[in-house]
Structures are given as structure tokens and as C-alpha cells.
Chain A
Amino acid sequence: MKPDPRATILSRRRFLTLSGQGALLAGGLALSAGAWLPRWALAEPDLASRLLRMGRDIYPHEAIADRYYLEPLQPLLEEQREMIDAGLAALDRRARATHGRDYVAIEDERERVALLREIEDGEFFQSVRNTLVVGLYDNPELWEPHFGYEGSSWEKGGYLNRGFNDLVIDWL
């Protein structure tokens, strides 16, 4: 039973109006309660909120729900758990050395991003990033509602009669 994607993520338009009101989240994220989180995230909420913070700093989309960041990380956790734990621990050590607190507790996004920039060439960072670049953007549930990308079209007869050339350039 899959939830309706439109119910769990804000529509883009709605988000655009919200973001003007300062909807950007800062610092530690409270996991959205019961919102279809993967089982591993419910079992290890601390791990999940650290990875979620990191995922959202790497590919920030305020309108995309937590589970879309967390679900794709499961195989990585299964295969490379030690590397992930060590990477997160090292990130926290760095955070404590410069900011006196754990990475997730740093409120300023720019400061968190600066920390991640320092480790972006490392295996830990790139494996999380490479997992998300596919896991997040190859998810058909997000395509149309969030990005306006309509996905597979051949079964609908393509766009020949559905707007492949409907653009009128009226903004010039």
C-alpha cells in the first residue's frame, strides 16, 4: 500500500508560497512522526536524523518529505554500515572541534555546508551523495508533483497531441 505522493509532499506551488514565510528549517530536524518512514529509520531515529540532516544539506528541497531521503539509504546502510558510522562520527568530531556541538546541532545551514565541503572528496560523503542523486531523483513519485517531469510517455501516445510544442514565448 503506497501513500499518495500528493498527500505526503507539499505541492510545488504551495511550497513556493510557504517558503516566502520563512519555512526553511534550520539545525536539527525532528523526524516527521509516523510519516511512512522506512523501518530502519524508526528503529534508529538518531542515525536517521543525522543522515536526514546530511541528505537535506546535500540536496535541499524543503518540499520533499523525509522518507524520500531516507528510503534510498537503506541498501547503503546494509552494505556499508561501518563506513557510515565512522563517517558520521568523524563529521561530529569536526563539528565539535569547530563549533562545539554535533553536526546536527549546528543551526546555521552555511556552517553545516562548510563542514560538508571539507569532507566532500571522501568516500563517506560521496557514497551518501551518489546514493541520493539516484535515490532521490529517480523516484517517479516525486517527478511530476515536485519537478514537473512527466516520466514515461509512450503508453500515452507520446506528446504529439499533448503539448510537445504548446509553448508560447510571451515573456519577452
Chain B
Amino acid sequence: MSGKFSHDDDSVVVIVGSGAGGGTLAHALAKRGINSVVLEAGKRYRMEDIENDEWEMFKKISWLDERITAGPRQLTETFPNLPAWIVKGVGGSTIHWAGVALRFQPHEFRLHSEAGDIAGANLLDWPISYEELEPYYVQAERHMGVTGESTGMPYHQWNNNFKVLAEGAKRVGYQKLRAGPMAINTQAYDDRPQCMQAGFCMQGCRFGAKWSTMYTDIPRAEASGHCEVRPNAMALQIEHDANGRATGVVYADGEGNLQRQKARVVCVAGNSIESPRLLLNSHSSLFPDGLANSSGQVGRNYMTHATACVFGVMPKPVHMHRGTTFAGIISDEARLDRSRGFVGGYTLEVMSLGVPFFAKFMDPSNGGWGRDITSALDKYDHLSGVWICGEDLPMEDNGITLHDTRKDQYGLPVPIVYKGDHPNDEVLRRHGQAQATKCYEAVGAERTFLVPDFPTSHNVGTNRMSARAADGVVNKWGQTHDIDNLFVSDGSQFTTSGAENPTLTIVALALRQAEHIAERMQRREL
């Protein structure tokens, strides 16, 4: 049963987005008896909607509203209107995330102090430390069901794809090889079954073995009576009063009618393109540059991780498509060690794609056809693949801006998603490609090849956290420096990207934020 809150009810927290950040926050608030209305632009899907089919699921759940890819990078040419791979639906990108649930390393919260100024990078320390976040990492791991110490669930058994990569990695001298931590059950946990090794984690888990707010936080928050989720509700503008306090959110409902939901607190969790876009689109005479933008940092410092893939053709069939998509992690290169010629580290993560996506992504450039391509495809079942997830330095000019004239179906300016590499990113990426190639050569690959970036899966940094109001958009609680009752609750808060996938940190921050909001509300400070 979902609570029904009236549009005029100004006691509710309005949360924009129902993914990793928004879904977690709504549930955590509900557990504390705090009422929220979640506005979610996408539809609600049922378990039966989840198919083991790459293109079908892509078409069904992706955010396909117009966006413009920009910047000196291959995606600008290969995916001019799909800079990022994000879900539009109740559950957000936790429907198709792959479940890798790594914590950031302590030094990654203070990369600026560790590394000093780096020309061209807008580097800043996080205003929180690892130690402050650690208890919330533990909570997040229990909450999501992450294999490892916090839950006691064992790591996954190594699937064929990881066996190959790990064997090569061992021969290269790597030691930190683990099939986890993953937010994918290896035993029944949290009323959800164990992983059936079906593959297709990136199309949604039909069994519910992988954590997703779609079938955990959202329905549980609704069942509590403290949360109402409104699907097909696209937030267009956050409104404020004369004192600059947020008062509510204007949104388009499923019929295209404009609605206004009043709010006591507004939390933005639309992922790192839509969150800053919403703040920018909410400009007013009081805030001509957009809400919470006195620093000028809204939409800036967009980070995507420095990524690439390497595939190897093995002498015998591997069947990489069998089993979890990403359960195999190598952390030896995640350390900070400038002797390698770059700042920051990277994680190597085993990955698989099905034939449809492999064919599309192997080389999407105009020249990516011919026998080079098909000879690899003919050996599809002999392939093993790995993804490089590397620290991507923040740069002020990488970011989200609004197009002057192009409008989307809601009449909002289309976002331009600009990203170029810092020289450090390039060195790191090349290092990762070379190391991954060595791993495959060491395990006897007949051929190895590089596969470029896909549309970005890890989008962070566009409303970054900072100690000082002049350096960023939100403080250590995700509260905007400028507006007390306006929060950012997703990955756009990240001050730096780390060498780890972002979602565990997003969830830990959201759990911590929920606690903070509840305390402040209790003290009538919000």
C-alpha cells in the first residue's frame, strides 16, 4: 500500500529519482517514519519485464531522451546522442548495474592532499574521510547484501571468464584477485534468492539475486506507508520562496500535465547528468545561474572513470556469457603509486558481453567492420574480457551545459555532455590496457584486442562536495551550500572518482544523509 500525499502537503520530502541514491534515501527515511514523495521520470517495471536479451532491455529501460555528446573523445563520433548508459525507470540504473560493490580506499578521499596540484585538474579533497564513511559502508553492505565480511556471504565461485583472466593475472604477478565484493547474493539473503549464474546482470536480474532498488527499497518504502512513488513524473523545476528556501517541485505527469508537489525538503538524485540539469533549469531571478550554483560548479567536474576493455581470444571455448557479468576483480593496480607515471589507480574487472552487444561495441567507429571484426566474432565462445575502471581527474570544463535552442519532449533545453581526457587519464588508460593485455598473453591468448569506451556507465561529480562553499555545490552531508533544505543524493556529489565503481559509495552516502536529514528535521532545523 502506498501512502497518498496531496500536492499541497508541504511536510513531505520530495526525492527526484528512484535509483541508487534516491531509492535508498526514500527507504531509509521511511524507516525513520519520514514521509516522502519520489518523482521518477521512468515507468514501473515488473520482474516479468526483465528479459535475458541485450537489445530488448536496452530499448525498454534506457534513458533515450535527447542528449548531445561533446568533447574530444570517440563517443562524440560513435554515440553522438547517447553519452551515458542510464536507466529511466523505477529503480534507476540499479536495474542494470552489474553489482560490483567496492569501497573507496582511504587515500582516495584526499587525493588532492596526497598528489598536490595537478595542472589542468580541478582537484579537491572530499570533506569527509574514509573513517567517517566506514560505518555507513558496513551498513550499505548489509543493506544491499554485499558478499564478504559485512554479511558473511561468501564470494562467488570463479566463473570461466574470471578463471582465464585470473590465471593470466597470477602469471603477471598480481595477487589481489577476488570474485567480489558483489551486491549479488551467493546465498538466500534479505528475502532474495541466490544468484543462478544466468548472465545478463546488465539487463536486470530476473531472479532478484542482485540488489536493485526496483525490488527492494522502493516496494519496501511504499509498503511502510511513508513513501509514495510517482512513476512517469519528470521533475522540471525546483521552486523556492523569497528567502531562497526550496518550496516544491514542478513536474510533468504521465499525461504531460504540469503538477506541483510542495515539499519541506527536496533531494535531487537523477544521476549526474539530470541532477545538475535540473538545478540549472531551476534558475530564477534570485538565482540567475541556477539553484545552488553560487560557486559556479553546478554541472562541472564531470567524471566518467578512465575506462577501456581488453578482450583475449583463448585457445579453447570459455563461454564468458555464462554466469555473472562482472564477478572478478583485480585490485593490485588500484593503489596510489606515481612511479607508474600517473596519479590514481585502477581496478581490473572481468566482464562479458553477449554477441549482440559485443558486435556493436567491439569497434563502433566508422571503420569498425571487416574481417578483423568478424574473425573475433567467429571466436565469440573463445573470448574473455576485462574492463578497466580508473581514476578520472576532475576538470572544470568537463560537464553538463544546456543547449541554447534544442528542447526535449518536456520543453527543457537538451543537455550537452562534454568530456575530454586529462593527460593523466590517458596514461592511466594505456597502462591498464597494456597490463590487461599482458594478463591475456600470459594465459595463452591467440589474439588480444582493445575495445573502446561505451556510453558512460559511471557518471559522477557534477554537484561536487566541498568543505568551502566556493569550491563545490554541497557540503559533507550532500546539503547544498546555498539552500538549507535542498540536498543532492546521488553520484553527482562525488568530489573525485576513485578507482572503484561508484554505487556502494552512493548508497553509503544516502544512508548517512537520511540519518542526517532525520536528525535535522527532528531538531526542526529543516
Binding site for B on A (CB under 8 A): 12, 57-61, 113, 117, 120-121, 125-126, 129, 133-134, 136-138, 143, 146-154, 157-160, 162-167, 169-172
Interchain CB contact under 8 A, B356 and A59:
no
Looking at the complex, which one of B196, B359, B371, B443 makes contact with A158 (CB distance below 8 Å)? B196
Interchain CB contact under 8 A, B360 and A147:
no
B199 beta carbon closer than 8 Å to chain A: yes
Min C-beta distance of B13 to chain A, whole Å: 36
CA distance A61 to B376 in the complex (A): 11
The number of chain B residues touching the other chain, given as a range, is 35 or more
CA distance A136 to B323 in the complex (A): 24
Determine the chain A residues whose CB is within 8 A of the CB of B366 once the complex forms: 120-121, 125-126
Which of B81-89, B152-160, B476-484 is near enough to bind chain A? B152-160
Given known pairs A120-B369, A153-B52, A164-B323, the reply for A159 and B199 (CB within 8 Å) is: yes
Determine the chain A residues whose CB is within 8 A of the CB of B105 once the complex forms: none
From DSSP, what is the main secondary structure of chain A's interface residues? loop
What are 10 A-B interface contacts by the 8 Å CB criterion?
A61-B374, A120-B367, A129-B369, A137-B358, A150-B322, A151-B354, A152-B200, A158-B196, A159-B197, A164-B322
Determine the chain B residues whose CB is within 8 A of the CB of A152 once the complex forms: 51-53, 200
Q: Which residue of A lies closest to B317 (CB)?
A: A148
Shortest Cβ-Cβ A-B pairs, 6 listed: A148-B381, A158-B196, A158-B198, A164-B323, A152-B52, A137-B359
6 more contacts with CB within 8 A, not counting A61-B378, A160-B197, A163-B160, are A59-B374, A137-B358, A137-B377, A164-B319, A166-B160, A167-B319
Min C-beta distance of B21 to chain A, whole Å: 28
Determine the chain B residues whose CB is within 8 A of the CB of A169 once the complex forms: 163-164, 167, 443
Binary flags per residue of B340-375, CB closer than 8 Å to A gives 1, else 0: 000000000000001110111000001101110110
CA distance A166 to B197 in the complex (A): 12
Determine the chain A residues whose CB is within 8 A of the CB of B254 once the complex forms: none
Q: State the total of A-B contacts with C-beta under 8 angstroms.
A: 130
Interchain CB contact under 8 A, A137 and B374:
no
B211 beta carbon closer than 8 Å to chain A: no
Interchain CB contact under 8 A, B360 and A137:
yes
Binary flags per residue of B36-69, CB closer than 8 Å to A gives 1, else 0: 0000000000000001111100000000000000
Q: Which residue of A lies closest to B314 (CB)?
A: A171
B207 beta carbon closer than 8 Å to chain A: yes
Q: Which residue of B lies closest to A154 (CB)?
A: B206
Determine the chain A residues whose CB is within 8 A of the CB of B367 once the complex forms: 117, 120
CA distance A133 to B374 in the complex (A): 11
B511 beta carbon closer than 8 Å to chain A: no
Determine the chain A residues whose CB is within 8 A of the CB of B373 once the complex forms: 59
Min C-beta distance of B385 to chain A, whole Å: 13
Q: Which of A57, A148, A160 has the most CB of B within 10 A?
A: A148
Looking at the complex, which one of A12, A120, A121, A134 makes contact with B360 (CB distance below 8 Å)? A134
Determine the chain B residues whose CB is within 8 A of the CB of A171 once the complex forms: 314-316, 444
Determine the chain B residues whose CB is within 8 A of the CB of A151 once the complex forms: 52-53, 354
Determine the chain A residues whose CB is within 8 A of the CB of B315 once the complex forms: 171
Interchain CB contact under 8 A, B369 and A59:
yes
Interchain CB contact under 8 A, B200 and A154:
yes
Interchain CB contact under 8 A, B369 and A165:
no
CA distance A81 to B367 in the complex (A): 24
CA distance A153 to B316 in the complex (A): 22
B221 beta carbon closer than 8 Å to chain A: no
CA distance A163 to B157 in the complex (A): 12
Min C-beta distance of A114 to chain B, whole Å: 11
Min C-beta distance of B341 to chain A, whole Å: 31
Q: Which residue of A lies closest to B315 (CB)?
A: A171
Determine the chain B residues whose CB is within 8 A of the CB of A148 once the complex forms: 317, 319, 380-381
CA distance A172 to B316 in the complex (A): 11
Determine the chain A residues whose CB is within 8 A of the CB of B318 once the complex forms: 167
Q: Which residue of A lies closest to B194 (CB)?
A: A160
CA distance A154 to B57 in the complex (A): 14
